[in-house]
Amino acid sequence: MQEKFIEIKNLNKTYRGKIKALKNVSLDIYQGEVLALIGLNGAGKSTLVKILLQLVIPDSGEILFNTKLFDRSGIKNSIAYLPELFRIPPDMKAYTFLKYMGELSGLNKSEIQKKIIDISHTLQLEKWLNKPAKKFSKGMMLKLGIAQTLLDDYLLYVLDEPTEGLDPIARRTVRDIIKSLQDKGCTFIINSHMLSEIELVADRFAIIHQGEIINIGKVNELLRGKPVYEVVANVNPNLTQWQFYEYNSLWKCSVSTPEELNLLLNDLNNSSVKVHNISMNTLNLEDLFLQNIFARDVDNNKN
Ligand code: ATP
């Protein structure tokens, strides 16, 4: 059994007295794991990580790191953070920025120099080190944001959208970096909308919806789980007994047994809804996410 590294207990956060960004969120994070926080826009993911980083103060609740209260644990210097929409001043050169961040981390000159060379080689940023940020593409800017999280050794890496806008080679590089740091015992919390990407690297996922955690699970078990049948229709069948959700302008429903599949096909036939496609898949994170969100919204609408 892995050790609990972070215990998040009953966090609540309301912005401006009315926007309930987090509602009683509790979550354990284990030493050495990669946890993916997934949720729709505005679900509360960034708020949760900002509270972890003490950038946002919660209304109530507490966070323990290695069983100590956050502010007394002295862990703040051991956290690397890639913020969402990472930016630096447009005229600042990448090298100047990384050197500055290295100095803030307390590294000496030669350590900084060595780290910058190593990291920029890994992330293929060498040619860009002496160019100002305004000449950077979206992906290069993100690489620079990732580079600053790698200047020192940290216990916890909090990465808000670490791959959105990266090309496939850079995405693989980022995955390799995460895996090698994980092998050294580092823990990761990653916010991402790129579910097919996060699936490749995360050990567990937590789905956050309208400020609440609605499902937590192991990615491995999910992907090796039993197959599901996916039935796709061109229109919303409006069958309340089946959970159809919209996907790329089509309507999808997943069932897990041949019996359910037959019942579903019967119901569609009786309602004169044409089936566009049927496939058999193992569940992926995106399907599970959409099913969970849909089921929660149906429940909320009933209440
Ligand atoms: P996204 O995927 O779009 O980045 P998110 O899951 O990270 O979204 P948050 O940024 O945590 O979501 O936002 C949760 C809710 O809190 C949203 O309704 C958002 O509008 C609101 N919110 C976030 N920050 C503030 C703020 N500083 N002031 C007021 N409301 C805020």
Do 205 and 249 fall within a single domain?
Answer: no
Residues 44 and 148 in one domain: yes
**pTM above 0.95?**
no
d(CA 40, ligand 1 centre) in Å: 10
Q: Does residue 152 form part of some domain? A: yes
Domain presence at residue 205: yes
Distance (Å) of CA 198 to CA 3, 148, 183, 204, 238: 23, 21, 17, 10, 32
Task: Please tell me the total count of domains within the chain.
Answer: 2
141: CATH: 3.40.50.300
**Domain end among 222, 237, 266:** 222
Distance from C-alpha of 96 to C-alpha of 235, rounded to nearest angstrom: 55
Same domain for 100 and 134, yes or no, is yes
Pocket of ligand 1 (CB under 6 A): 15-16, 19, 21, 39, 41-47, 84
Q: What was the pLDDT predicted at 109? A: 94
Ligand 1 atom closest to residue 211's alpha carbon, by position in its atom list: 14
User: Containing domain of residue 62, as a range?
Assistant: 4-222
| Mutational pocket test of ligand 1: of 47, 48, 190, 209, the residue with most ligand atoms within 8 Å of the beta carbon | 47
Write out pLDDT tens, residues 84-137.
889 999 999 999 999 999 999 899 999 999 999 999 999 999 999 999 999 999
Residue 43 DSSP SS3: coil
3-state secondary structure of 121: helix
pLDDT tens-digit readout, 15-66 = 998 899 999 999 999 999 999 999 999 999 999 999 988 889 999 999 988 7
> What pairs with residue 160 in β-bridges?
191
Co-location of 185 and 237 in the same domain = no
